[in-house]
Structure formats: C-alpha cells, structure tokens
Structure 1
Amino acid sequence: MLLHQVATGDQKSFTILFEHYSKTVYPFALKLTRSEELAEEILQEVFLKIWLNRENLPEIENFGAYINRMTRNYAYNVLRRIAHENLIAFELSKQMTEEVNNTEEAVLHRDLEHSLNHAISCLTPQQKLIYTLCYQEGLKYSEVAGRLNISSSTVHTHMKLALKFIRTYCIRINTLTLFYLLFK
C-alpha cells in the first residue's frame, strides 16, 4: 500500500518509506564502502532513483530485496569509480615524478599548480570554502557540515559542483596532468 502511495507522488509516504528503509540502506552501504561520506552519497542516490522511478514501485514484489540490491549495485559502482580515479591518479603521479626531475617540467608543474589555483579561485565563495575544508584540510563532509552549520547533502552538492567546474576548467585548458594535482 505504501509503495502505491509513493507511486502516485505522495511525498509524505515517500518520507515514511525513506525513514524506514534508510535505517538499513545506510549501514549496508557503510559496511560495503567503509566510508560515511560514500554511504551518505549512496543513500541519497538510491532514494533519488526510487523517487524518480516511483511509478514502477507497485510492480516490485519484494521491496526489501530490491533496495538492498540497488544499494549494493550503487556501492560497487562508486567503488569502481574510485578505484579508476585512484589508478589514474597513480599513473599521473608516476608520470609526474619522472618528469619533475627535469627543470622544464618543474616549471610546468608550477604553471599547472597556478592553473589549478586559478580554477579554485573562480569557484563561488561557498564552493571554495567547502573545497578548501574537504581537500586541503582533509575534513569529512560531516565535519564540514557541522563546522558550517549546513547539511552533509549541501556539502556533497557544493563539492560535486566544485569538482565538476575544476574538471571542466582542466579540460578546457587541455591538460590531463592537472588532474594529478587535484587527486594527489
């Protein structure tokens, strides 16, 4: 009955569904990823997808199994993405280590750092602050949220937008080497 109500767009029913199932989705995602931030991201993505595809909810026979599978699939996708990013960062790091030995490459490295700093300076003040706290000070999203008195999802959104802008900026200046500085 609850799934049918959510399927019709009833936000109150969706809130009830979220409150009930988030108690299992978050711990499961945390167990798979061992990261509070990733577990929060997965929780948001799972329920966003449920809401966006709510018209299909009445067709689901075992919602508990469905949401567990969805959570597992999102967790694996996130872990694959991170592994891929880490591999790229490692390869770029290795390449940069070899190249920085040369004086010309050292100059290039400084120029790339300047470009990254310029990209960061173009962020909105809120994005710049959150990026600085997360990447340069190493704080977790929940710690940043507590410090700034905002929700973790707001921190996640600002980080997502900041990283998207920086990546777009990097592509625009046509250099993948800058990604090394971003992910080191």
Structure 2
Amino acid sequence: MKEDFNQMFTNYKCRIYAYILAITKSEYVAEEITQEIFIKLWVARENLHEIKNLDGYVFKIARNLSLNHLRKVAYNEKMSGELIRVAAKDGDSAETKLNLFDYNKLINQAVDGLSPQRKLVFKLSKEDELSYDEIAAQLKLSKNTVKNHHLTAMGIVRSFLIKNGISSAVTVFFLLCF
C-alpha cells in the first residue's frame, strides 16, 4: 500500500503542482495545496482502489482546492475594504479598538456553544475548508444536513458576535476569515 502511494505521489506531484500554480499564480499556495491533496489522498488511501478515474479525481480535488483558495482571497480582499470603511466611519467606537485576538476569542466562545455536530461541521468547513460534499462524505451525512448544520452554526455565531457588540459587517468579515 505504501509503495503504491509512493508511486502515485511520484506520478502526480509535478503535474498537480504545475496545474495548481497555473490557477493560483503562487508558488507557495501551489506547494501548500499540493501537500494538502496528498494528505487527503493518504487519509483515504484504503478507498482509492474504488475510484475508477484517479487522474480525474486528483485533478478535481486540485481544481476545487485552488478555486476555494481564490474565492477566499477575493472575499478577504472585499471584506477588508468593508472593514476599513466601517473602521473609518466608526473610528472611535469600542468595536474598532478590539484586536484580532478579541474577535477570535469571541468566535471561539460562540463555536464552543454549538452542538457537537454543528461544531464539527463548522470547523471542517472553516478550518479544513471542506465543501459540503466532502463533509457529508466524511461524516456520512446528507449534503443537505451538512448545509443546514453549517448555516445554523453560522447564524448562531453571527448572533453571538452581534450580541457582544460586533457590527454585522465586521462579523461577516471575521466569519469568512476564521
């Protein structure tokens, strides 16, 4: 099994890296995503024999992770502009004086208050950047169930942040970046 994986790594690493680099235009990001792909493949190595088109599967993962990265970058840039606008407008408010640590602390408190299932779905989505399909497969749940858990969790976290004095625009920014 290990030899097969090593062979697969040798066969795909350069092609995947080049493919991701062409999409992301960043050597660092291409390296990170390439590593992430092989970690995912290693974790799922016992089930890889069931995949009929491994080439298509591997490159679809590469494409999805690359596009997820680009979406996240675009969102962060958009929301950074919104955060700057809000901060300029509310320059003296207590909200703008909170630092990132305080925001993350509040987000973690909100996440800790979620049910175990919602907490897991939220973390897989935000920290591991998994899609609803990937989370559903990993947790053996329907995609709809995962989506409902995630949206409910996001709403709970957002409400918690707003109740703690964080504006909607800043709340959205930190939920996207968390």
What's the TM-score once normalised by structure 2's chain length?
0.54
User: Alignment identity in percent?
Assistant: 32
Q: Distance in 1 between matches of 2:88 and 2:2?
A: 53
Deviations 1:6-57, CA, capped at 9 Å, x for gaps: xxxx334322321221111111101101112221221122112111222221
Give, in whole Å, the separation in 1 of the partners of 2:34 and 2:103: 25
Q: Could you say if the C-alpha distance between residues 72 and 108 of structure 1 is closer, same or farther in structure 2, counting changes exceeding 3 Å? A: closer
**TM-score, normalising length from structure 1?**
0.52
Q: CA distance change for structure 1 residues 65 and 95 in 2, over 3 Å: closer, same or farther?
A: same
Alignment pair present for 1:57 and 2:48: yes
The residue that corresponds to 1:41 in the other structure is: 32
Structure 2: unaligned runs, 5 residues or longer: 110-160
For residues 5-154 of structure 1, the aligned pairs below 5 Å read 10-100=1-91, 104-105=92-93, 109=96, 111-112=97-98, 115-116=99-100, 119=101
Q: Tell me: CA distance 1:170–1:36, structure 2 relative to 1, closer, same or farther (3 Å).
A: farther
The one-letter code matched in structure 2 to 1:82 is V
Matches of 1:59 and 1:21, distance apart in 2: 18
**Greater than 3 Å deviation, 4+ residue runs:** 172-180
- What corresponds to 2:104 in structure 1? 168
- Give the C-alpha shift of residue 59 in structure 1: 2.0
Aligned length: 117
Letter matched to residue 51 of structure 1 = W
- Amino acid aligned to 1:16: Q
Q: Could you tell me how far apart the structure 1 residues matched to 2:20 and 2:106 are?
A: 32
